[in-house]
């Protein structure tokens, strides 16, 4: 364990210096790198299954993590379930886009500094307009209180969801954190120190892990870390798995030394990973083992850009 920790410290130092991965023990190969940002990949064999693992590391001191989401102004908002503050309790509908449409819009705004993008938070349906499952905060504004019945709300879909502890990924200019989410107060999203945030499941309380824990699928997990000398986390570490179970995916993040909580964003049909250099690495709506873009549209995206 001490060796892994020392290797990860070396990794963090390298991230701030053009992102050279220092530990061949884990057999990751570099796919793309910029100052403060890197994408690595490796193939993992487990039994008769082969897993494709992508690991992205984004330093918020040198890069931005932003959200793309558009409210459908033609649809009437419904009641939200996960913020007990009356003025923030709506759950609007959001327009779903194909990944090609989203890529075009995002790159059109920031083509020069664009690094890549991934799927965002859980949503309620694959219709052209959908509500989000859980709360989202963008640029200081709470956009939705979420409306999923698959969480600790007043009337959950199943009793087991009443016991789920939701997590919030929150960030500002150069810091990021994963914290327990309070559905009554809306914290930490309602706190001024965080300009952006989204609420989701801890990886071990993802519905897939509860109801079919050993079934291989696609998942995206996120942890946070800090470079040496920092007092708060400034690194977003994103692992995208193809054909793995979620516990196995989380174990890979922990193997790299991630000590924060680990959260899950989407998975299976909604998994999406796009890189400025390699293009589409995981496409939503694509069945396991196939290639090409499927017909599934997504309402929420996270994207990364270099700071000017």
Give dist(CA 283, CA 265) in Å, integer: 15
* Cβ neighbours for 229, distance < 8 A, ≥ 6 positions apart: none
Q: What is the pLDDT of residues 250-306, one digit of tens each?
A: 888 888 888 899 999 977 788 899 999 999 998 887 544 444 445 689 999 999 999
Mean pLDDT, the chain, whole residue set: 85
Lowest mean pLDDT among 43-57, 113-127, 176-190: 43-57
Domain ranges of the chain: 1-44, 65-226+246-306
pLDDT computed for residue 294 by the predictor: 53
Evaluate if residue 9 carries a pLDDT over 70.
no
Give dist(CA 145, CA 162) in Å, integer: 17
Question: Exposure of 190 by Cβ count < 10 A (0-12 exposed, 13-18 middle, 19+ buried)?
Answer: middle
Give dist(CA 299, CA 99) in Å, integer: 10
pLDDT computed for residue 183 by the predictor: 95
- Do residues 150 and 211 make contact, with C-beta atoms less than 8 angstroms apart? no
pLDDT computed for residue 26 by the predictor: 56
Q: DSSP per residue over 153-197, as a string?
A: SSS-SSGGGGG---EEEEE-SS-EEEEE--TTT-TTTTSTT-SEE
Q: What is the pLDDT of residues 91-138, one digit of tens each?
A: 999 999 999 999 999 988 777 799 999 999 999 998 999 999 999 999
pLDDT computed for residue 4 by the predictor: 37
Evaluate if residue 228 carries a pLDDT over 80.
yes
- Considering the chain, what percentage of its residues have pLDDT values greater than 90? 60
pLDDT computed for residue 189 by the predictor: 97
Lowest mean pLDDT among 67-71, 133-137, 241-245: 241-245
Question: Which helix (H) or strand (E) covers residue 7, if one does?
Answer: helix 2-15
Evaluate if residue 66 carries a pLDDT over 90.
yes
Looking only at the bridges linking them, the beta strands covering 263-264 and 90-91 are unpaired
- Contacts of 150-156 spanning 24+ positions with Cβ under 8 A: 150/207, 151/81, 151/82, 151/183, 152/183, 153/81, 153/82, 153/183, 154/81
pLDDT computed for residue 17 by the predictor: 43
Give dist(CA 211, CA 109) in Å, integer: 40
Q: How many residues does the chain have?
A: 308
């Amino acid at each position: 364990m001490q060796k892994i920790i020392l290797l990860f410290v070396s990794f963090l130092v390298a991230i701030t210096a053009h992102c050279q991965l220092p530990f061949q023990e884990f057999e990751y190969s570099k796919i793309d790198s910029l100052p403060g940002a890197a994408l690595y990949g490796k193939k993992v064999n487990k039994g008769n299954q082969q897993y494709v693992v992508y690991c992205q590391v984004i330093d918020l001191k040198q890069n931005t993590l932003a959200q793309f989401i558009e409210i459908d102004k033609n649809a009437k908002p419904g009641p939200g379930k996960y913020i007990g503050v009356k003025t923030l309790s709506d759950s609007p509908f959001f327009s779903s886009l194909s990944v090609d449409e989203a890529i075009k819009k995002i790159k059109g705004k920031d083509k020069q500094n664009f690094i890549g993008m991934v799927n965002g938070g859980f949503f309620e349906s694959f219709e052209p307009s959908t509500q989000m499952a859980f709360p989202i905060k963008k640029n200081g504004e709470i956009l939705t209180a979420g409306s999923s019945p698959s969480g600790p709300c007043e009337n959950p879909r199943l009793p087991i969801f009443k016991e789920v502890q939701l997590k919030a990924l929150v960030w500002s200019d150069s810091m990021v954190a994963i914290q327990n989410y309070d559905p009554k107060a809306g914290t930490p999203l309602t706190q001024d120190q965080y300009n952006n945030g989204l609420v989701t499941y801890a990886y071990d309380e993802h519905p897939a892990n509860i109801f079919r824990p050993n079934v291989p699928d696609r998942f995206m997990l996120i942890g946070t870390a800090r470079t040496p000398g920092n007092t708060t986390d400034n690194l977003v570490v994103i692992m995208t798995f193809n054909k793995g179970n979620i516990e196995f995916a989380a174990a890979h993040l922990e193997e790299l030394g991630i000590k924060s909580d680990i959260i899950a964003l989407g998975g299976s049909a909604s998994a999406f990973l796009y890189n400025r250099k390699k293009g589409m690495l995981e496409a939503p709506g694509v069945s396991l083992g196939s290639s090409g873009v499927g017909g599934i549209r997504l309402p929420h995206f996270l994207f990364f850009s270099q700071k000017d």
